[in-house]
Amino acid sequence: MSLNYEEMCWRDVRDYFRKWREDNERRSDDVINLWEAVLEDKVIKTGNEKNLILEQVIVAALDTARLDIAGKCIKELSSEFPGSLRVMKFKAMQLEAMERYNDALEVLDAIIAKDETNAAPRKRKVAILKAKGRRIDAIKELNEYLKKFMSDQEAWNELCNLYLAEGDYAKAAFCMEEVLLHNPHSHLVHQRLAEIRYTMGGMDNIELARTYYSQAIKLNPKNLRALYGFYLCCTMVANSRALGTKRKEAQKMAQWALNQANTLTAKRSTIENNEELIDALEGAFANLEIKSM
């Protein structure tokens, strides 16, 4: 949406800012352009919304690397709310944008020392440690955070990513199980946990992966990735030293997964006359043979 800044008054801009805040839209470029063109000299007229608008502009300025605008807004908030932890958080974000990570960490530590229940600065610390490539320290900090905020799904998901980056799949699986407790009906969570278990290897983990893949398919029958993973798990079981009945059952389920994948691929494909591609896919699946360790 293009906005005609010249024909807008400060009330129009205020209403746009309010709408974007309520809809959780960043619109950083538009915010900065409207701020400079219309609202900067008239922000005092917005009354009770002034501080909300200043915070919105700070975030937009940091998004667009307009550190000069962010600095002015932070200075104005600081003069009105000296010693405010909320303003200190914005100062830390400004330092982080300037790549002064050590200074930003000092500000965040000061915020945490004053209010240990404040979750935002702890998350910013993890983000900074990741940016500096200190994954081990980020994992340690995130574990400390989760001792106090155990129901934070995003934190568990982020900790899972960090463990995966370190190759610690067992702990990554534990983190995804915590996410699964909060999202038992999410096919994507089941799928990701299945992928982690499959990567860990071993028949016990393959069986668990097959269970999670099957649940992901049950929740979303159109999940092609889960079908493919389910097929791979069944193929491994079929080629294992399991009981004969178990191997035959796995072969039947693998064939079912193959048929479902072929059907979905045929329906979703935008390529005309794709029968040859479907046959090639079926041949690739059929020729795939995975031996258990």
Q: Given this model, what pLDDT does residue 131 score?
A: 87
The pLDDT value recorded for residue 244 is 73
Give dist(CA 235, CA 251) in Å, integer. Answer: 7
Q: Quick one: pLDDT at residue 227?
A: 92
> What is the chain's length?
293
Cα–Cα dist 34/14, whole Å: 10
**Residue 239: exposed, middle, or buried by beta-carbon count in 10 A (0-12, 13-18, 19+)?**
middle
Residue 41's pLDDT is 86
Q: What is the pTM of this model?
A: 0.78
Query: How does pLDDT run across 235-293, given as a tens digit for each residue?
Result: 988 887 767 788 888 888 888 888 888 888 777 766 666 666 666 666 665 555 544 33
Fold exhibited by the domain 185-269: 1.25.40
What is 85-168's CATH topology?
1.25.40
- Count Cβ neighbours within 10 Å for each residue of 130-159 and write b for 16 or more, e otherwise: beeeeeeebbebbeebbeeeeebeebbbbb
Over residues 65-76, mean pLDDT: 93
Tell which residue, 69, 117, 116, has the closest CA to residue 94.
Answer: 69
214-220, long-range: CB < 8 A, 24+ apart: 215/187, 215/190, 216/187, 216/188, 216/190, 216/191, 217/187, 217/260, 219/185, 219/186, 219/187, 219/190, 220/187
User: According to the model, what pLDDT value does residue 165 have?
Assistant: 94
Q: Give the Cα separation of 192 and 156 in Å (integer).
A: 13
| pLDDT for residue 39 | 87
Q: Which tokens is 230 given?
A: 């389910």
C-beta of residue 90 within 8 angstroms of C-beta of residue 77: yes
DSSP 8-class letter at 72: H
Amino acid 38: pLDDT = 87
Res 292: pLDDT:
39
Q: By the 8 A CB rule, do 237 and 250 touch?
A: yes
For 74-127, write each residue's pLDDT tens digit: 999 999 898 899 999 999 999 999 989 999 999 999 999 998 888 889 999 999
Q: Which residues of the chain are in CATH 1.25.40.10 domains?
A: 85-168
Cα 244–247–248 angle (5° rounding)? 85
Span 187-239, pLDDT tens digits: 999 999 999 999 998 899 999 999 999 999 999 998 999 999 999 999 988 88
**Comparing C-alpha atoms, which of 100, 164, 93, 177 is closest to residue 132?**
100
E-assigned strand segments in 193-254 = none
